[in-house]
Structure 1
Amino acid sequence: MKRVAALLLGAALVAGAWFALSDGDRPTAPAKPPKPSACKSVTFDGKRFTECIALPGQHRISTKITGKNGVIYRGFAGLAEDVDPATVAFAVNGGMYDTGSEPIGYYAEDGQRLYPLNTRDGGGNFYLKPNGVFFGEPDGGWQVMTSDDFATKVTQRPNFGTQSGPMLLIGGALNLQISPDGTSLKIRNAVGVDPQGRAHFVISDEPVSFGTLAALMRDHAKTSDALFLDGTVSALWDPASDRMDGRYPLGPLILVTHRSPD
């Protein structure tokens, strides 16, 4: 009996000590390890790039332009205030825009078309035709298509979409408006979708030509259709690697988030 009483007393003392601990002193469950980055460094033709891959079923893609305060983001800082960074796989600039950071071509967000398809002629990269549209549903079915094909073949409005230009690749062939070895070198980024339905977002980490970027999208990323997103202001936010490019101002943004478990 003395042994049992001693054991009970010891248990009571341990329990009392536990409850006497402040919340800050009590052991906590280990935090879940952060998700690995969806982005990786790539060297192609002697040039450095960062490639981020969105996977159907694991990631969700959306377009963003205006914050909860009604003001156009124009960069990643405002977006980071409106979303939980822990849910973000990465984000990139997403298409051509005017001086007010509004899209100059097709733009759809959450199933709503906010800006119409632009088929006009003009000057600048956007009008190096054919230009194109990146679009799809949040969980997959992502596509890159020339603007003309988008106008004639897409009969159901996609959940998201953004128009940019020029197309870098069309059916695996280099856009005839682009030189394979052009001398204009800038920071550039692009998007394409491979045969497995994965969306490849590539940004150069040093100035490159259109031709080099197109060749990477064809030979490394294995995308047959690829769309130029922008140059000079091309930017990436990758929370897992603590990277948030500060180039400013941006226009439409493409946000890739981790899909929540069902």
Structure 2
Amino acid sequence: MRNAIKAGLGALAFWAVLSAPALADCARSDYLGHSFTTCTARAGDDLRLFLYMDEAKVYGNFTAIDDALARDGKKLAFAMNGGMYHPDRRPVGLYIEDGNELARIVTSAGPGNFGMLPNGVFCVDDTGFTLVESRAFAQSPPACRHATQSGPMLVIDGQFHPKFLADSDSRLIRNGVGVSSDGRQAAFVITNTPVNLFEFARFFRDHLDMPQALYIDGNVSRLHAPAIRRSDWGGLLGPVIGKVIDARGPAQ
């Protein structure tokens, strides 16, 4: 009964963010002594992945993407780093941008967080969002307009990744994405205080009521959210994921 009440309160908190038209796409919240910022995308939003501005040069930062979008009268409502990448900014795993597959899926175990199976693929399609375990995705790929692979999965069908340790002292600023049970909402979360992977997974499952969630990255995690007066700086990024809106409209 206590768990049911806690899950219900988490769902109410998340849906309150979704249903309040006066709020920006991004809002800050505290949970179990940690601080998080959550940015929400809904089915029908113009959510895109960005990597190369031309064949040889990556965007690398939020300003470069906004400058490119401005030529079409568009801008970023919010954006964050959208997947792990090699030193030359190539994606580590599957990467699909505007229907074009630029990097192939990786299904083998390996070092680091990416190779801590199960990992997964976040997919944007015509009806909303899906988050699929990578091997299942490889066997039956959905039609993704945009997709990025990362790892590990934080929450899999409502269960935590089996290798997470509640008392792990590996705490970083991290970011990730969760998908609602109906696939109509995606929550992009960045931590404002260092957390371990178990604590991050709890935020998605127990606070946001997300049955599927995927770790994107740590240390390099950055958020661009002009409506809340935040735009993080740092070294060049690889893939970036962001919600695009009309430059003349409000960022909400």
Displacement of 1:37 in angstroms is 2.1
SS in 2 for 1:162: strand
The within-5 A match list for 1:134-173 is: 134-137=122-125, 140-154=127-141, 156-173=142-159
Is residue 177–residue 187 contact of structure 2 (8 Å, CA) maintained in 1?
yes
CA–CA distance in structure 1, aligned partners of residues 85 and 139 of structure 2: 24
1:110 corresponds, among 77, 98, 121, to 98
What is the total number of aligned residue pairs between the two structures? 224
1:216 and 2:203 equivalent? Answer: yes
CA–CA distance in structure 2, aligned partners of residues 82 and 255 of structure 1: 13
CA–CA distance in structure 1, aligned partners of residues 78 and 23 of structure 2: 11
1:178 corresponds, among 141, 156, 164, to 164
1:249 and 2:236 equivalent? Answer: yes
Give structure 1 regions of 4+ aligned residues with deviation exceeding 6 angstroms: none
Counterpart in the other structure of 2:116: 128
Displacement of 1:69 in angstroms is 7.7
CA–CA distance in structure 1, aligned partners of residues 108 and 61 of structure 2: 27
SS in 2 for 1:92: strand
CA–CA distance in structure 1, aligned partners of residues 234 and 207 of structure 2: 26
2:30 corresponds, among 35, 39, 43, to 43
CA–CA distance in structure 2, aligned partners of residues 232 and 53 of structure 1: 22
Tell me the amino acid that sits aligned with residue 121 of structure 2.
V
Displacement of 1:259 in angstroms is 7.3
Is residue 37–residue 238 contact of structure 1 (8 Å, CA) maintained in 2?
no
1:156-198, Cα deviation, whole Å (9 max, x unpaired): 4311100000000111100012112311010001101112420
Is residue 60–residue 259 contact of structure 1 (8 Å, CA) maintained in 2?
no
RMSD across aligned positions (CA)? 2.1
Unaligned stretches of 5+ residues in structure 1: 1-34
Counterpart in the other structure of 1:189: 175
Percent identity reads 36
Is residue 91–residue 236 contact of structure 1 (8 Å, CA) maintained in 2?
yes
Displacement of 1:51 in angstroms is 0.4
1:20-45, Cα deviation, whole Å (9 max, x unpaired): xxxxxxxxxxxxxxx95200001011
Change (3 A) 1:242 1:256: same
SS in 1 for 2:187: strand
Is residue 165–residue 229 contact of structure 1 (8 Å, CA) maintained in 2?
yes
1:100 corresponds, among 88, 96, 101, to 88
Counterpart in the other structure of 1:16: none
1:72 corresponds, among 47, 58, 70, to 58
CA–CA distance in structure 1, aligned partners of residues 77 and 209 of structure 2: 22
CA–CA distance in structure 2, aligned partners of residues 213 and 199 of structure 1: 16
Tell me the amino acid that sits aligned with residue 114 of structure 2.
F
CA–CA distance in structure 2, aligned partners of residues 253 and 52 of structure 1: 14
What TM-score, normalized by structure 2, do the two folds share?
A: 0.83
1:89 corresponds, among 67, 77, 81, to 77
CA–CA distance in structure 2, aligned partners of residues 86 and 45 of structure 1: 38
CA–CA distance in structure 2, aligned partners of residues 41 and 177 of structure 1: 28
What TM-score, normalized by structure 1, do the two folds share?
A: 0.80
CA–CA distance in structure 2, aligned partners of residues 180 and 140 of structure 1: 35
